[in-house]
Every structure is written in structure tokens, then in C-alpha cells.
Structure 1
Amino acid sequence: MPKGTRRAFSRLAAATAFLGSLAFGLPAHAYPDKPVTVIIAWAAGGATDVVTRALEPVLAEKLGANLVIRNITGAAGTIGTAEAAAAEPDGHTILITPAGPITTQPHLRELPYDLSSFDAVGRINITPMLMMVTKESPYQTLDDIIGASKEKPGSVKFASTGAGTLPHISILALNQAAGIDTKHVPFQGSANVMQALLGGVVDVFSDQAQLVPQYELHPVAAWADERLPEYPDVPTVKEGGYDLSFANWLGVFVPTGTPEDVRAQLEEALKATLETPSIVEALEKMKLTISHMNGEELAAFAKAEHERNGKLLADAGLKK
């Protein structure tokens, strides 16, 4: 058979096979058919990274794929998030992220992505943030922090994971509510903050609750409406006289345009993972309570968070 004829025949055979698979309702390519990259826009050892690595073995099993975790850090989570947004929308790249990179950062700077760049897969948890210090810190209570800041403005150094992140917004809100002046020290992620906090470079940090037991820290106050069941002895910021509450959450997203059947597989795998007893136990040890949402619910929730955080940033004079 001539070479050109063979090539044409091969193409015809491939097309016939594809159409045949459609006729019988079978996918042309099974998903997943290669390793799935999980992008974390923060450093290894940070709050998001620790939770993701706890989920990874079970999520890989439920999805039937090898998961490859990539930590792509920088610019308050926006570098890794931008890379996730630009990935092929075939389900082989997923993003596990807290609120900041997709609900606050697009309000602050020009980015190659926004909330519409992603399809939601599901929420993992939502937890009011804790204000934390080392056990040796001179600031063991909220009154200690407020008093020192009033006595010597700028003396208390608050860390954040970057301008416009929830840890930063909480500082701005407390400064305004209490009429104090604190020094803001931004870092690239909570793992970097922990090094600085334990080393005495900064004094106070507010972020996800699992950092407290992980690094043996002292919880000063909870940014919550009521005391947290996991920390019943820790007063809320509201009890200190300031009507402030902030909660961080982790969600799973894929680039917009990912096929619906692929998203459905990811949704089911995430749901099954979060219902696995070993995962429930692992997150409970981190003082995290699973609060699952499916993709549709997370999409609506993230949109509301995006609008709320935009208003908070505008009120603080930070919106672009």
C-alpha cells in the first residue's frame, strides 16, 4: 500500500474509532490518563501545604491517579494561582487555595486571572482565624497587644502572608477598630512566617488554626462570632470589644472550561476523600473541621466572598 494511502487509511480508522466510541457513549480518552498536578501557591510546610499533603494519598486513590504537588510561591499566592489558571483545562491541573489569591488579590492588582478563570470543584473546610504568638511572647492576651501598641505605636510587629491577604486585612481592621498602629511585616507564606515568629523577628500572626498545634504556639484570640469548640478557652476578638470576625477556607479549583464529566469525577473524589475516617481524624488533629461544599455551592460562596472582600479593601483604601 502506498505511504500516502496508508496515512489516509490510518486517519480514517482513528476517526471511525472515535465516532464509534461516541455512538456507544464511551469517552474518547479516559480521565485521568496521566499524573494530576496539584498547585499550591505557598511554600512547603505552610497551612495550605500541610492540609493538601494530608489529603494527597487518599485523594489520589479515590481519583485513580498519581498526584504531583507543586509549590509555586510568590506575590501573595498570585504566581502559582496564575499558572493554574493558564493550565490546560483537562482536569490534569488542579489548584488548592485559601481565599486570598482568588477573592482578594484580583481587587488589589492587575493579574492575568480573576475568579472567572476557575471552575469550582469543592470546599474542604472553613475555619475562623486564630491570632497567635509564641508561648514565650510578652503579648499573651489581646489586651497586651492593644496596650503595647497604644503605649508605643509600631512596636508590635504583625506578620502576614502578603498585602491583601486575610491575615493582612485582619490587621488593618484591628488597627482601625482599636485605634492603634502596628507594624505590618509581609512574607511569602505561612511557613516563612513561622520561621520569623519562632525566631522573634515578628510578634503576632493571624491565620489558619492548624498552625497552633503544629508549631506549639499560644492562641491569643479567635476571629469568630463565638468561641471555637476546638479552643473553648480562647476568647474571641469580639469578647475583647471589637466586632471583627475573619475565617479562612480551602477550596479546590480547576481552569475554566474543564469538561463537566471531569469536574464531576474530581468532585466525587474530593467528597469521598473528606468522608474517609483517616482524613477526618487527620484534620481533627490539626484542629480543623471539615466543611465540604460541592462545586456549585463553592462557586456561589466564592463569588460572595469576592464581593465582600472587595468592599473591605475599598473601605481600607487598598482597592486598585
Structure 2
Amino acid sequence: MKLMTLAAAAFGLIAGAAAAQDWPQGDVQYIIPFGPGGESDITARLQQPYFKELYGKELVISYQPGGGGAVGWSQLNTMPGDGSVIMGVNLPHIILQPARGNVGYQTDDITAVYMFHFTPDAIVVNADSPYQTLEDLVADAKANPGRVTFSGSGKGSANHLAQLLFDEMAGIQTTYVAFGGTGEAVTALLGNQVSAEWGYTTVGKAQGDQVRMLAVAMEERHPAFPDVPTFRELGYDLVSGAYRGVAVPKSAPEEVRKAVSDAIGAINANPEFRQRMLDGGFALIDIPYGEAMDAFMAERKTTYLNAAQRAGLIQ
């Protein structure tokens, strides 16, 4: 999942997508199962012009919010499987939501055909925070168990799982304060209601000089933040974040699944698109439909469920 790894393969993806003569037949409805303005919406809108460039058709974005995405995902398989409808999907949501209760769908009901990016978890503090480094924060947490507080998006989110995993790795006990989303968590941080935030690299990008990132949960440093170390560099094997991709209804035939996968892969291969994503603080991955997707989902499922079980989020 290293950044910028497509190289020559990019041209093959583009050619393959452009050669899919039978798809799309017309404009494609791209359903985001959240409200407008979030990271899922932002990335979908970044994809739109590149889809039009490839096919001469529109990606028509619509929203179906509710239940942290569950309302949309529970209805995905009632939609046409002819490729006229695709839907955004998010991890860890589609794994943890069904594990925690009846949300109208199971993880295996979701046919993900391409995972194209993730927002890496990051510990973010105010610019005037006494924590200059990650070790400053860890030292304080060890000296004062439970008193270091983090804002973050809701319980069972990528932020929450990162906090649980890091506490375990560092041998500390911190307090996680769940908010309704990234925006609310940032407001709490900037208002000094918490010690720090378990946020994303996108928070560091959006807030600029108001905040400082202590570490990012990536395999290598983010190109937009070359001075911010990874957790791995600091001795903590943490690579995590909110992963996003595209799914189709289960009734979609193999050729449609492959065509949609190729299309999202071709967009992801576009150097201009990739740069715009990186400039926004996102990180790019390339997990296409098939064996790669199966292996990726199996690995993520094990990681998320084990962490959630240890934390008492699921039985």
C-alpha cells in the first residue's frame, strides 16, 4: 500500500478502463452514504472530472446519509446491478457496524470493487501545546493515567480504534471523547476542551499553523508533511486510518464489477488526480476487485474485530 506505486501499470489501467466498451451506458449515479462536505464527498468530487475525461459520461453524486453510512449500505443490494449505480464504502465502518448490532446489512453483503485512498490517523495537538513530540505526550500519559484526553470521531471509528491500539502499544491509559465527526472533534481541540485529537492527516492540512501533528499512522511519511514522523519510526507499529472505496450491488455481473474497478483504478492512476489528493492530505492506495480485495478485507477484518473485542466494543 505504498504511495505512488503504479508507474507503468497506470497506463495499463487507463487503457483497460477506456476499452470497456459496454460500460457505462450512460451517466452513473455515485451515492455517498453520508451528508455533503465530508471526506467521502470531497474525494468523489475530485474523481468526477477524470471520469468524464475517460468516458464522456457524468458521475452524478447524491447523498443517502443516516446511521453513520448504514442506511445507504443496507439498501445497496436493492439497487440496479447494471453499473448505473455505485456507492462509496468506508472502513472500519462496514466491518464494525454489523459486528456491533443489527444495522440492516452484513459485511459480506457489500461488494467492494476498489479501495482507492485512506485518511491516515494522526495525533494532532494545538500549536501552543506543551507536547512537542509524541514522547512528550506518552510520558505525560504514563505519569497521569486517564488524564490525557483525546477528541475523535465516534465510538468504533478509525480514530477510536487507533487510540485503543496505541494505548496498548505504548502501555498508557488515555481518555477518548467521541464526537459526531471530524469537524466537531477539531472544534474541541481548537477550543482546548481536550489535550489532543486522534484525527487524520487531512486535519493537519486543513488547520495549517493552528495545529501540530506529532505522528502519522502510515508506512512512510506523507509527502505533504515531510517533517512529521510515522509511528513506526518512533517504535510503534501502527498503520491505520479511514479507508474509502467504491462498491456495487451484489447483483452486478463480473464484467460490471471489473469495469467499475478498472475505472476507479484509472482515475487513481492519473498523476494530476493523485497530486490533488496528496495536496489535500489524503493517502492513496490501490486495491482492485478480486484476490487483492479479498486479502485486504480479510486482513482489515481481523485487525478491527480483534481491537474492538479487546476494547469491549463487541462481544
SS of structure 2 residue aligned to 1:113 = coil
Cα deviation for residue 311 of structure 1 reads 2.0
SS of structure 2 residue aligned to 1:245 = coil
Cα deviation for residue 282 of structure 1 reads 0.7
Aligned position for 2:179: 187
Aligned AA for 1:275?
A: A
SS of structure 1 residue aligned to 2:201 = coil
8 Å CA contact retained: 1:105, 1:165: no
SS of structure 1 residue aligned to 2:83 = coil
Counterpart Cα distance in 2 of 1:227 and 1:299: 27
Task: Select the residue among 92, 95, 99 that pairs with 1:103.
Answer: 95
Closer, same or farther: CA 223–34 of 1 in aligned 2, 3 Å: closer
SS of structure 2 residue aligned to 1:136 = coil
Task: Select the residue among 262, 275, 299 that pairs with 2:269.
Answer: 275
User: Is residue 309 of structure 1 aligned with residue 304 of structure 2?
Assistant: yes
Cα deviation for residue 167 of structure 1 reads 0.8
SS of structure 2 residue aligned to 1:235 = coil
Cα deviation for residue 128 of structure 1 reads 4.1
Cα deviation for residue 230 of structure 1 reads 4.3
Counterpart Cα distance in 2 of 1:259 and 1:110: 28
Task: Select the residue among 123, 130, 133 that pairs with 2:115.
Answer: 123
The number of residue pairs the alignment matches comes to 292
Closer, same or farther: CA 192–81 of 1 in aligned 2, 3 Å: farther
Cα deviation for residue 87 of structure 1 reads 3.2
SS of structure 2 residue aligned to 1:129 = strand
Percentage of pairs with the same residue = 29
User: Is residue 174 of structure 1 aligned with residue 166 of structure 2?
Assistant: yes
Counterpart Cα distance in 1 of 2:74 and 2:196: 29
Cα deviations by residue, 1:241-288 (Å, 9 ceiling, x for unpaired)? 544332442211112111333323322321222222321221121244
1:17-96 alignment runs, 5 A limit: 31-33=24-26, 35-41=28-34, 43-96=35-88
Closer, same or farther: CA 290–174 of 1 in aligned 2, 3 Å: closer
Aligned AA for 1:189?
A: G
Aligned AA for 1:38?
A: I
User: Is residue 252 of structure 1 aligned with residue 246 of structure 2?
Assistant: yes
8 Å CA contact retained: 1:76, 1:189: no
Task: Select the residue among 188, 191, 196 that pairs with 1:204.
Answer: 196
Cα deviation for residue 162 of structure 1 reads 1.8
Aligned AA for 1:115?
A: T
Cα deviations by residue, 1:224-245 (Å, 9 ceiling, x for unpaired)? 4554454332233345454433
8 Å CA contact retained: 1:162, 1:187: yes
Closer, same or farther: CA 241–265 of 1 in aligned 2, 3 Å: closer
Counterpart Cα distance in 2 of 1:167 and 1:206: 5
8 Å CA contact retained: 1:63, 1:269: no
Greater shift after overlay, 275-284 or 237-246?
A: 237-246
SS of structure 2 residue aligned to 1:308 = helix
User: Is residue 237 of structure 1 aligned with residue 217 of structure 2?
Assistant: no
User: Is residue 294 of structure 1 aligned with residue 259 of structure 2?
Assistant: no
8 Å CA contact retained: 2:98, 2:106: yes
8 Å CA contact retained: 1:39, 1:84: no
Structure 1: gaps spanning 5 or more residues:
1-25
1:261-272 alignment runs, 5 A limit: 261-272=255-266
Counterpart Cα distance in 1 of 2:163 and 2:281: 23
8 Å CA contact retained: 2:31, 2:64: no
SS of structure 2 residue aligned to 1:210 = helix
SS of structure 2 residue aligned to 1:38 = strand
Closer, same or farther: CA 183–315 of 1 in aligned 2, 3 Å: closer
Q: CA RMSD in A?
A: 2.9
SS of structure 1 residue aligned to 2:136 = helix
Cα deviation for residue 197 of structure 1 reads 3.0
8 Å CA contact retained: 2:159, 2:241: no
Give the TM-score taking structure 2 as reference length.
0.78
Aligned position for 1:165: 157
Cα deviations by residue, 1:147-174 (Å, 9 ceiling, x for unpaired)? 4434444433322322212210111122
Aligned position for 1:142: 134
8 Å CA contact retained: 2:215, 2:228: yes
Q: Where has structure 1 moved over 6 Å in runs of 4 or more?
A: none
